[in-house]
Amino acid sequence: MQIIQRRKIFYIISLIIIIPGLVSLFMQGLNLGIDFTGGSILHVKIENNVNAGEVRSVLEELDLEKAEVQKSGDEFYIRTVELSQEQTKELLNDLKDKFGKVEFLSAESVGPTIGKELTRNAILALLIAGVLMLIYITVRFEFHFGIAAIAAIIHNVLVVLGIFSLFQWEINSSFIAAILTVIGYSINDTIVIFDRIRENMKFKLKEDRMTLLNRSIMQTLNRSINTVLTSAFALVALLVFGGATIKIFVLAMLIGFVTGAYTSIFIASPIWYELKARA
């Protein structure tokens, strides 16, 4: 397979995916959930055998899809957008109509669990991690490998953020965890291919760099595809059967893992080739 020779086609595919997402990020931003914006917490007690999904269905009827429901015994903590007294009363009445005896325990307004300072610190931590990864890869391999790996990570993060912005899917604290997991997966998959390239470079005979890269990618292709398929099957199962509470986390992971495999195969190595050609 002539991956390096066709690298411009893969660059164009990436741009077609990333550019609309970037435009969306600048135009409408991200759909921030309650963890970022704050809201209200209602504490109620429902004595009947009721699960969190049933309570969540009542909230959806009131257009409170962003609400988070946590169950502890027969008590429920409902975290939702800021509610007025009238809206709180309407919600309690609907719960009583649906489940019978509902005891209202408390209600309070809360600030965002992920504030501006925490967001800023998270971005700073990612930048520091990126610099450390660049240093490590430079020492272990070479500087151009490090630049290509960081470019691949940025590519994956932009794809996930862009898709979530385009479809205005809500993001919460679990989304941050998913992004970090995607970064770890992406760098691992990329390093496997780079390691094979380095090994082949030690024993190359009369191969040119393009042929060597294509051969290295093909030697790791089965591993990359099998890894992402194994992960994707599990994530799809979680997406279908895992419930609403982990949907955002699983969706971000699924998009990131698939994109990470694509980037490792079709973007990272071609970028390294371009850098070496210009060195």
In the predicted structure, residue 26 carries a pLDDT above the cut 90: yes
> Which domains does the chain show, CATH number per domain?
7-33+115-278 (1.20.1640.10), 39-110 (3.30.70.3400)
H or E segment to which residue 79 belongs: strand 75-80
Among 101-105, 236-240, 251-255, which stretch is predicted with the lowest mean pLDDT?
101-105
- What number is the average pLDDT over the span 13-41? 88
Quick one: tokens of 195?
């390691």
Q: Provide the pLDDT confidence category of residue 112 given band limits of 50, 70 and 90.
A: low
How far is it, in rounded angstroms, from Cα 151 to Cα 154?
5
In the predicted structure, residue 205 carries a pLDDT above the cut 70: no
Map residue 203 onto helix, strand or coil.
coil
Give pTM, 2 decimals. 0.83
- What number is the average pLDDT over the span 62-72? 79
Residue 115: its pLDDT value, please?
Answer: 62
Q: If you average pLDDT over every residue of the chain, what do you get?
A: 86
